[in-house]
Amino acid sequence: MATIDFEGTQVPFEDGDTIASALYRHGVRTFNRSLKYHRRRGLYCGTGDCPNCMVSVDGEPGARSCVTEARDGQVVERGTGWPSPDRDLIGITDKLHWAMPVGFYYKAFVKPRFAWETAERIIRRATGIGRLPLDATPAVKRARSAHTDVLVIGAGPAGLEAARAAAAAGADVIVAEEREVGWTFPPGRELDALRRLADQVRALPNVELREGHTAIGVYEGPTVPLVAEDALVEVEAGRVIVATGAVEAHGVFPGNDLPGVWLGRGAALMAARHGLGIGDRIVVAAETEEGLMHAATLRAAGSQVILLAPTALAERALAGVQVLRDARVLEATGSKHVTGVIVETPEGRKRIVCHALVLSLGWAPRDALLRMGEDLPVEGVGDVVAPVGDPPLGDGGYVCLCEDVGVHELEIAWAEGWTSSEILKRYTTATMGPCQGALCGLHLAAFAAARTDQVAVKGRRTTARPPVRGPRLEDLAGGVHEVIERRTSLHDRHVALGARMDRSGAWMRPGTYGDVAEEIRAVRERVGTMDVGTLGKFLVAGRDAQTLLDRVFPTRLHDLAPGRARYLIALDEGGYVMDDGLICALRDGRYYVTSTSGGADRMEAGLRNWADRWDLHVHLVNQTAELGAINVAGPGARELLGRLSDDDLSRAAIPYPGHAEIMVAGVACRAIAVGFVGELSYELHHPRSRGPELWDALLGAGADLGVAPHGLDALDVLRLEKGHFFLAQDTLPDDHPAKLGLGWAVDMDKPWFVGKASLERMAEIPLERRLVGLRFDGEPQRGMPLEAAGQIVGRVTSCARSEALGAAIGLGWLRARNGGWPTTLRAGATTATVVDRPFYDPEGVRLRG
Amino acid sequence: MALNIPCPFCGTRPYTEFTFGGELRPTESPDLDADFARVYHRANVAGQQQERWFHAHGCRRWLTLTRDTVTNRVG
Amino acid sequence: MAELTRPGLSVVLCGASPDALDALVPPGHGARTCRTAPDEALSVCPAEVAADVARELEDRVAALDDDAVVLDVSDGWTAWRLTGPDSRDAFAYASRLALPDEGFVQGSVAHVAAKVVVEADALTVLVPAYWHDHVRERLIHDARVTEAIP
């Protein structure tokens, strides 16, 4: 026997049951307590449009039980009410309605200040529909794209006809249907005809009918994302046809939200599809043809039916149905459930005792997707574009069921001055719940339109926005759930050596191979290798290459001879340092430029922009991926390379700073003499594919020299000992060169370069902040403030204990005080002294070796 | 937000394939004061704006287009 | 079914003026020349003929533009090839690009900048070499292609 676990009880269900029908058969009438006032709510629309039937299924809240198939073993809970929806103590809030009018939380609990924090906690616990399963593991969803000429949303009669016509005209068509074809239809001739039509459409070669695909929005393109069970499908369509139909109009009158008040289709589906009677004596208020059909269905299911209908419709009512002509519902009465209806008839008011009230008062097109596509090739067919009259809006009752906003609340808000539909929506939150205005959007607009003469602006429908159905975050994250890693060709080597691989921006880089102190020692005393293949690398060629570089960078270039290199900084138009690197002059007027690893993409985009704006003839090749780079550094660097190369490695052949093309272990390299770590260094730029063999050769040939690879942790200390900054760690976004002590890297004699005018302007302003070197007498921490005379005058941006110097050193920024620069500072409990940089080998003897 | 950018070389693509380069501005100014305005002041119009976009995922070249900043329509 | 392989391809870049590239007769030797920008073309060819392709490009473009450059940039690119009847379907799980029946398109694949060479029986995806592992992972996990182990 198939059962669902409903709040601890095993509830049996029949074939074809939804969770709602199974629970209803079991006797459940209160499916929910409303959001704010905890009013009882029962089944209403039966078609998945309203919020009343929402339950948690298997821990996941927000399932509309009226359209969710019952399955054996499902665990179903109602989400609201304490201790239960049936006996809800928080229901007292409904009696305290007067103390909590609309928007009260904007005005209450202001003083004392702690009152709001307490109140907020209580309010949050008391409201809401269900609990999020925060410890659930999200499913990994994929995303896929689809391209089509025509996308039809909705596989009802109108949608399928439109698909057939488009396919006949030669278009490729995708039809997206939220659930299964015909799921809102009760068994009968119409459903059979629809299924036959669906089969015909499915058989067409240029049509795809996808059930279980929910369109959640219409975006520019038009692009429509469809949420399916296993993937998010992003459809790019030539045009979109919206055929989502209409839901029956929501009736607004006092008592309209009582359990036992139904929309026509909901009541008819219960009877015709599930064989469930909703009451022995039912009042049906019909203003539509379909309403008559629902009355007939309910009558055929064995209920006594009293029909309220306008004269024209009343003529066509079925025999055996009592009719009250031109009668109008004024109020539904009852406390936990409907027990009667008060109607206005031409003969006066009447009270009718009944067990249920069924409303077929008109239509509310499901037109959100259509309205989103206003300026796009999006059109509607079928009931979604059928003309509708005024929505049935009485002088009492709940307009927005999702958010508990009644006519009374709207009147209070309007009187307070929130006098347009858009602002009324935001203040009262009407239309902002799970149904997103599907039921109440027309009512909100009508309410405002009736009270203003600026109807077009203040009385219009509020803007339709995606999503129209609440997707899970895992659905929206389809296909976007992995971090994108860039790797050098030495990645596997680092892993094999036991390196701790770190995320460094977009790249994976070795942090350390196990012993940072030993890695530092290897560089200072012997020879070390480091994978710096992540650096940005650019070949700049073409007749305007030097012109471009000369104008973009502040570096002096005219006297940079082939074979020479120079430190390069990149300034933005404000004159602030945004990147640094090297520039090497090659033969034939070409240049090779390097940047920081993180700045490569910006460097390329920047150079291409200037080349485009100035219409310069250059060829820019981004070689960041194409070339690897290994830095061989230490007193033994030349000796090591000498074992693997027959080329001249002396200072004469490779000047500092400079470069040369050499062969190392049979690999063609551009060896650049650099000084970042402060030892004799050769940065070997080589073809990426030859990286592993070059690395192996270096480590192999240098074994007896005590060669060791080092990672980012060691680099941090090595460069710090030389006083070199790390961009964005030691620099601030408004650091111009003077603040960093980089005036020497800027050639102010050049007629023009990017940022020059800004530097000229700033030269007039006395420097009030600079980057300084620090020596500590204790153990500092990065990020610590620097104080002088009890005032904060700076911050430590980098620090480390230096074995070579026997002290803790660092960098930080420092403010001028009283026109001067403090030299002795406090960093927490330690003393920090401002000292010149570099700390280690100040004359640079070792790196020039 | 959805925005499609018409790259003159590659065709119309989602904006996620591009890097935004801001309002189109002159590259130089006649004097220091004018340069301050050029670098820091933005017209920031509510309406048609000429802008720079870089097709990072495609041709990796720059383009200039006109976009209405109120309606977000391009062209 | 869609299968993933790593073809041994070379990529030769030709940078020249738009007019020169418009007039350029593409090199032979089975190379597919893709116009990747107004001033740039990439010729994708089997590795064995890369030198021939480069030489042919140099000779032809020099006559049209004396400031042109021709470079073998093969190391900068990694190529993944999708074959099999479901390769287009599998590709749709990795990209929003609309594929031509044959030819070349460039844009976002697996969220990175890619060039796609489309042939009757195969799709070849070229990305900067540092994304070699990333693209492979996404094609196997999202596109559910089967990697052919050589």
Q: Where are the alpha helices (DSSP H) in chain B?
A: 32-40
CA–CA gap between residue B33 and residue A755 (Å, rounded): 13
Q: Render pLDDT for A77-97 as a digit per residue (tens, 0 to 9).
A: 997 776 677 877 777 777 777
Q: Which residues of A28-60 are buried (b: 16+ CB within 10 A; e: fewer)?
A: bebbbbbbbbbbbbbbbbbbbbbbbbbbbbeee
CA–CA gap between residue C150 and residue C138 (Å, rounded): 20
Amino acid at residue number A483: V
- Chain B positions in Cβ-Cβ contact with residue A375 (cut-off 8 Å): 71, 73
CA–CA gap between residue C80 and residue A420 (Å, rounded): 57
| Crossing angle of the two packed helices A637-644 and A691-701, in degrees rounded to 10 | 110
CATH number, domain C9-75: 3.30.70
Q: Which residues of A578-602 are buried (b: 16+ CB within 10 A; e: fewer)?
A: bbbbbbbbbeeebbbbbbbbbbbbb
Domain boundaries, chain C: 9-75, 76-147
Residue pairs spanning B and C at CB distance below 8 A: 31
Fold designation for C76-147: Gyrase A; domain 2 (3.30.1360)
- Report yes or no on B61 lying in a domain: yes
The alpha carbon of A55 is separated from its chain's Cα centroid by a whole number of angstroms, namely 26
- Report yes or no on A753 lying in a domain: no
Q: Would you say how long chain A is, in residues?
A: 849
- Who among A145, A489, A688 is closest to C92 (CB)? A145
With 0-12 / 13-18 / 19 or more C-beta atoms within 10 angstroms meaning exposed / middle / buried, residue C68 is buried
A640 and A674 inside one domain: yes
Structure confidence at residue B1 as a pLDDT band (50, 70, 90): low
The alpha carbon of A457 is separated from its chain's Cα centroid by a whole number of angstroms, namely 31
- Report yes or no on B55 lying in a domain: yes
Residue ending a domain, among A212, A247, A282, is A247
- Tell me the longest C-alpha to C-alpha distance in chain B: 40
Q: What is the mean pLDDT of residues A553-571?
A: 97
Residue A751: CB atoms within 10 Å: 7
Judged by CB atoms within 8 Å, which residues 616-635 of A form the interface with B? Answer: 622
The alpha carbon of A446 is separated from its chain's Cα centroid by a whole number of angstroms, namely 34
> CB-based contacts of A355: which residues, under 8 Å, 6+ apart?
A260, A278, A279, A280, A281, A282, A338, A339
Q: Render pLDDT for A274-327 as a digit per residue (tens, 0 to 9).
A: 999 999 999 999 999 999 999 999 999 999 999 999 998 888 877 788 999 999
In degrees, rounded to 5, the angle at the alpha carbon of residue A651 between the alpha carbons of residues A648 and A657 is 120
CA–CA gap between residue A571 and residue A554 (Å, rounded): 7
Judged by CB atoms within 8 Å, which residues 10-39 of B form the interface with C? Answer: 10, 13-14, 16-17
A630 and A518 inside one domain: yes
Is B32's CB within 8 Å of A761's CB? yes
In C9-92, beta strands by DSSP E:
9-15, 32-37, 40-46, 69-72, 77-83
A657 and A689 inside one domain: yes
A233 and A289 inside one domain: no
- Chain C positions in Cβ-Cβ contact with residue A689 (cut-off 8 Å): 74-75
- Report yes or no on B43 lying in a domain: yes
In this structure, what CATH number is given to the domain that contains residue A64?
3.10.20.440
Q: Any CB–CB contact under 8 A between C15 and chain A?
A: yes
Backbone angles phi and psi of B17, in degrees to 5: -85, 0
Q: Render pLDDT for C49-92 as a digit per residue (tens, 0 to 9).
A: 999 999 999 999 999 999 999 999 999 999 999 999 999 999 99
- Chain C positions in Cβ-Cβ contact with residue A484 (cut-off 8 Å): 111-112, 131, 134
Average predicted confidence (pLDDT) for chain A: 94
Is B59's CB within 8 Å of C106's CB? yes
Q: What is the pTM of this model?
A: 0.91
- Report yes or no on B1 lying in a domain: no
Is A757's CB within 8 Å of B32's CB? yes
Amino acid at residue number A290: E
Residue (of B60, B59, B44, B54) closest to B5 by Cα position: B54
Chain A: give the shortest CA distance to residue B8, in Å. 14
CA–CA gap between residue A815 and residue A82 (Å, rounded): 59
CA–CA gap between residue A466 and residue A40 (Å, rounded): 29
Tokens at A678, concatenated:
């402060």
Q: Which domain holds residue A845?
A: 765-849
- Chain C positions in Cβ-Cβ contact with residue B16 (cut-off 8 Å): 108
A410 and A446 inside one domain: yes
Q: What is the mean pLDDT of residues A478-485?
A: 85
3-class SS letters over B2-23: CCEEEECCCEEEEHHHCEEEEE
Q: Any CB–CB contact under 8 A between C76 and chain A?
A: yes
- Who among B13, B14, B61 is closest to C37 (CB)? B61
CA–CA gap between residue A379 and residue A243 (Å, rounded): 9
- Chain B positions in Cβ-Cβ contact with residue A609 (cut-off 8 Å): 21, 52, 54, 62
Judged by CB atoms within 8 Å, which residues 210-249 of A form the interface with B? Answer: 219-221, 223
- Who among B2, B40, B62 is closest to A608 (CB)? B62
Q: Which domain holds residue B47?
A: 13-68
pLDDT at A98: 78
CA–CA gap between residue A636 and residue A524 (Å, rounded): 9
List C-alpha distances in Å: A17 to A4, A26, A339, A410: 11, 12, 27, 38
In this structure, what CATH number is given to the domain that contains residue A431?
1.10.10
List C-alpha distances in Å: B36 to A380, A573, B40: 52, 10, 6
In this structure, what CATH number is given to the domain that contains residue B24?
3.30.2270.10
A549 and A409 inside one domain: no
pLDDT at A657: 94
**pLDDT surpasses 70 at A381:** yes
CA–CA gap between residue A329 and residue A486 (Å, rounded): 68
pLDDT at C126: 98
Backbone angles phi and psi of A298, in degrees to 5: -70, -35
Q: Render pLDDT for A758-772 as a digit per residue (tens, 0 to 9).
A: 999 999 999 999 999
Is the C-alpha dihedral spanning A477, A483, A486, A489 positive or negative? negative
- Report yes or no on A678 lying in a domain: yes
A507 and A656 inside one domain: yes
List C-alpha distances in Å: A393 to A50, A251, A346, A425: 17, 7, 20, 16
Number of domains, chain B:
1
A410 and A529 inside one domain: no
Touching partners of A (3+ C-beta pairs < 8 Å): B, C
- Report yes or no on B26 lying in a domain: yes
- Chain A positions in Cβ-Cβ contact with residue C131 (cut-off 8 Å): 484, 486
Is A688's CB within 8 Å of C137's CB? no
**Terminal Cα-to-Cα distance of chain A (whole angstroms):** 87
Q: Render pLDDT for A345-367 as a digit per residue (tens, 0 to 9).
A: 999 999 999 999 999 999 999 99
- Who among C38, C108, C113 is closest to B9 (CB)? C38
pLDDT at A624: 98
Chain B: give the shortest CA distance to residue A806, in Å. 46
Q: What is the mean pLDDT of residues A328-344?
A: 96
CA–CA gap between residue A64 and residue A55 (Å, rounded): 7
Number of domains, chain A:
7
The alpha carbon of A401 is separated from its chain's Cα centroid by a whole number of angstroms, namely 28
Q: What is the mean pLDDT of residues A494-503?
A: 98
State the complex-level ipTM: 0.98
Q: Name the closest residue on chain B to residue C41, using Cα atoms.
A: B59
**pLDDT surpasses 70 at A565:** yes
Residue ending a domain, among A231, A247, A263, is A247
- Report yes or no on A161 lying in a domain: yes
Q: Any CB–CB contact under 8 A between C114 and chain B?
A: yes
**DSSP of A452-465, one letter per residue?**
-S-HHHHSSPPPP-
CA–CA gap between residue C4 and residue A307 (Å, rounded): 67
Q: Which residues pair with A349 in a beta bridge?
A: A344
Is the C-alpha dihedral spanning C86, C90, C96, C101 positive or negative? negative
**pLDDT surpasses 90 at A819:** no
Mutation target vs A (from C70, C75, C78, C140; most A CBs, 10 A cutoff)? C75
**pLDDT surpasses 70 at A169:** yes
- 8 A C-beta contact, residue A738 and residue A746: no
- Report yes or no on B74 lying in a domain: no
A119 and A35 inside one domain: yes
What percentage of chain A exceeds 90 in pLDDT? 84
Tokens at A192, concatenated:
């059979």
- Report yes or no on B8 lying in a domain: no
Is A574's CB within 8 Å of B39's CB? yes
- Chain B positions in Cβ-Cβ contact with residue C37 (cut-off 8 Å): 9, 59-61
Residue (of A684, A360, A297) closest to A527 by Cα position: A684
- A132: helix, coil or strand? coil
Is B60's CB within 8 Å of C112's CB? no
**pLDDT surpasses 80 at A832:** yes
A527 and A562 inside one domain: no
Is B61's CB within 8 Å of A608's CB? yes
Structure confidence at residue A499 as a pLDDT band (50, 70, 90): very high
- Chain B positions in Cβ-Cβ contact with residue A753 (cut-off 8 Å): none
- 8 A C-beta contact, residue A509 and residue A628: no
Pairing of the two strands A231-242 and A142-153: parallel
Amino acid at residue number A620: L
List C-alpha distances in Å: C87 to A114, A429, A750, B62, C145: 61, 48, 56, 32, 8
Amino acid at residue number A316: R
Mutation target vs A (from B13, B35, B55; most A CBs, 10 A cutoff)? B35
| Crossing angle of the two packed helices B32-40 and A756-763, in degrees rounded to 10 | 120
- Report yes or no on A230 lying in a domain: yes
- Chain A positions in Cβ-Cβ contact with residue B29 (cut-off 8 Å): 757
> CB-based contacts of A514: which residues, under 8 Å, 6+ apart?
A498
CA–CA gap between residue A356 and residue A284 (Å, rounded): 8
- Who among B17, B60, B61 is closest to C108 (CB)? B17
CA–CA gap between residue A237 and residue A623 (Å, rounded): 38
CA–CA gap between residue A438 and residue A184 (Å, rounded): 16
pLDDT at A120: 82
Is C75's CB within 8 Å of A627's CB? yes
Is C114's CB within 8 Å of B61's CB? no
Is A221's CB within 8 Å of B35's CB? no
- Chain C positions in Cβ-Cβ contact with residue B15 (cut-off 8 Å): none
CA–CA gap between residue C88 and residue A96 (Å, rounded): 62
- 8 A C-beta contact, residue A683 and residue A657: no
A100 and A8 inside one domain: yes
Residue ending a domain, among A341, A361, A381, is A361
- Who among B4, B32, B38 is closest to A221 (CB)? B4
A843 and A773 inside one domain: yes
